[in-house]
Each structure stands twice: as structure tokens, then as C-alpha cells.
Amino acid sequence: MIKNRPGNRGEAGWSLIETVFTLFLFGLLFSLCMPAISVIAERVERMLLMQELASRLQLAQTEAMSKETEVTVRLVSAQNEVHIVQNETVLRKIRIPPLYRLTSNYPRQSFVYRETGQVQGGTLSLYSGKRLVGRLVIQVASGLPKVEMVSCAL
């Protein structure tokens, strides 16, 4: 047991001013980091969306080859969705978050995977408002989608 000595009085903890100052510094650092964290989170969200779309397109291609039938991919801009269709039956719907808009350079905003897995080459473009933030390039003949993220200043 340590006895109180005259020099140790009042040094057992933090004062109110030290606590308030420490909390103020943590709040200031947090407020300075938040914009950077939100930008990183938005980029990750876009990348995940583009990669999910690419994997769903590869699945549509595989389905066309395995069932030896055509599979159509349609961009339904009114619903902000991508529909994967086989024999006029919607197999899958991919919802695009409301913050984004997906367009393509395909006629009638649709393209077809043939029984062999081949497709006409083209590009799907992802926009956030009016700003292009990503592209999904569908390669000629092989039909494999390639994700290209567009880096731009906010």
C-alpha cells in the first residue's frame, strides 16, 4: 500500500480540460478523415458493382454455351436494371443502384450471346450523374467482359 505523499496530490487522473481537449482533437481528426474515407468507399462500391456485372455476364455466356441456346442481355433504363433473358424468360435481374446509370453502345440497349458463347463486341458505361465512372468492355468474339474503372477528380 502506497501512502499519499505531499508531491502526489491531484495527479491521479486527467483533468476536465485535458479530457475535453483530447476529445476535441479526436473529433477534428475524424472530421478531416471522413471525406477521404467516403471517396474510398464510393470507389469500392463502383468496383464491386462493375465486377458483379462482369461475373453475371460471364455466367450468361456460360449458360448460352451449356444450353446451346441464345441468351440476351437487356439494359432496362426505366427500371435501372439489367435483364438476362433466355427464350423471352427473364433468368436474372441485376439492379443498378439509384446513384448510377448504365448505358451501352449496343443498338436497342441489348446484345445476344450465341450458342457458341460469341457476342458482338461493345461497351457498357457506368455514370454517376453526368460523370463517367466505369466501363465494361465486352470483347469481340470471346465475349469476355473487361472492367475499366475511370479515375477522375470529384
User: CB-based contacts of 70: which residues, under 8 Å, 6+ apart?
Assistant: 64, 86, 112, 113, 114, 115
The pTM score is: 0.74
**Three-state DSSP class for residue 132:** strand
Domain boundaries, the chain: 17-149
Structure confidence at residue 114 (pLDDT): 92
Structure confidence at residue 151 (pLDDT): 62
Number of H helices, E strands in the chain: 1, 8
Rg, C-alpha atoms of the chain = 27
User: CB-based contacts of 63: which residues, under 8 Å, 6+ apart?
Assistant: 71, 84, 86, 91, 113
| Per-residue pLDDT tens over the stretch 52-85 | 999 999 999 999 999 999 999 999 988 899 999 9
Domain at 17-149: CATH code: 3.55.40.10
Q: What is the largest CA-CA distance in the chain?
A: 91
Regions in the chain scoring below 50 on pLDDT: 1, 153-154
Report which DSSP code applies to 149. Answer: E
Question: DSSP string covering 78-125, please?
Answer: TTTEEEEEETTEEEEEEEPPTTEEEEESSGGGEEEE-TTS----EEEE
